[in-house]
Structures are given as structure tokens and as C-alpha cells.
Amino acid sequence: MIYGIMGAMPEEVDQLCARLQDVTCETYAGVDYHRGTLHGRPVVVCCAGMGKANAASTVQVLCTKYGIGRLIFSGVAGNMTGKIGIGDVCVGETVFYHDAELDMLAQSAPFLTEYHGDPALVQAALHACSACGVKAIAGRIATGDTFVGDCATKAAIAEKCHPDCVEMEGAAVSQIAARNGVPCVVLRAMSDNADESGYEVLVVKDFSIAEYVRTATEIVVRMIETL
């Protein structure tokens, strides 16, 4: 069993790459794929880049070129719920697009309007969060190609689809994993509240997300250790 582990930004995978043993790295279609072992299990770790197209193409490479059998996407997101707060985690029980014509997408494989995290991987993620002392929920993750950083956009998305958090890759990752029959889970640590303050901190001031990524990294390492 080869595990694929993805992030959208270098910060989201650098800490994981530093923990790999017996590492080799090759670049394919502009993405660096780090092959190695984590707790003795073979893994391929990569940074896909931000947005749905980057995420989808990278998942297909992981499936076709590297033959992964399970996929974990780990990163940060904007919080959309009062059930969790900054630094807490949303495990993607349900993942969907907030900016797409879902009925049209569902006319081709995997013929779904929303995607569900693999139950075993969702439970493994929740157990790993608990073991790491991190508050987590199995929730709803909404994906779109626009950074959500203002209250008006946040309110419109909340009214439309009631997500627990919002980000830019998860549904694309889940869609292509489902097309390939690869069990998948999306993990998101809350880095901001998807409003003007989040835009100011994460975009304008180019804030380091290393602290939030550290949480997600520990969870993924624990998952790989116990799966």
C-alpha cells in the first residue's frame, strides 16, 4: 500500500518531507514528488499548488504514475462554523464545490454532486486528532477557486451550502480520487475565519502558516503510524 500525501502550498508539505526516510525526489509536470517511508510505510508527498486544476492534475499523477492506494490531503482552511475555532481541524466527511454547476459535473464519472471521505480514513483522522490533543469534527468542506476573505462572500457561501470550512482544493482532490477508486480524506486546520481579518493576515501581510501546518503534520504522521 502506497500512501499519497498532498498539500497546496510548500509550507503544507515541508514538515512532512523532513520526516521521510530513504527519500528520492523527482519532478513531473512541474510538481516535486518526494518518495520515501514514514513509520516504515511507503509514501509519496507532494505540493500540488493552489486551486482546483492543480489539485486534480496532481491526484491523477499520484494515481497513474505512483500507484497510490490511499490519499490524504492536508492543509489549512477558513472557518465557517462556531463548532470549532482557529487551530482546530475539520475532517472532510462531505466535500463539495461551492462555485460549480454540480448537476453538470455529475454527468461524468464519478457521477456525484458531492464526495465523501473514506470512512476508515475519516475515523483514523479523528482518532489521530484526539491523540494529538486537537479538537476536530467530521464536517462539510466547501471548495472554490477564490480565496474567501470578506464577510459578504462568506455569508453567500454559508447560505448556499452551509459548510464548516472553505478552501480551494478538497473537492477536486476528492473527485479525481473517486474517479480512480482511491480512498481519500481531506484534513483542514483552521487558519482564519474566512473574513476581512483573514485576508489581511494571510494575503496582505503574507503571514506564515507554519504553526497551523504543524498541527496538521502531527495528525498525518499519527494516521500513517496507526493505519
Known catalytic residue: 12? yes
Phi and psi at residue 10, to the nearest 5°? -55, -40
What's the CA gap between 221 and 227, in Å, rounded?
A: 10
Indicate which residue of 11, 88, 192, 195 is catalytic. Answer: 192
- Concatenating the DSSP letter of every residue in 76-133 gives EEEE--SSS-TT-EEEEEEEEESSS-HHHHTTSTT--SSEE--HHHHHHHHHHHHHTT
Residue identified by cell 516504515 is 40
Sign of CA dihedral 111, 117, 159, 192: negative
**Of 168, 220, 184, 179, the residue nearest 70 (C-alpha):** 184
Stated length of the chain: 227
Indicate which residue of 11, 12, 167, 169 is catalytic. Answer: 12
Known catalytic residue: 192? yes
- Reported as type and span, the H/E element at residue 215 is helix 210-226
Residue identified by cell 475565519 is 193
> Which residues form the catalytic set?
12, 192
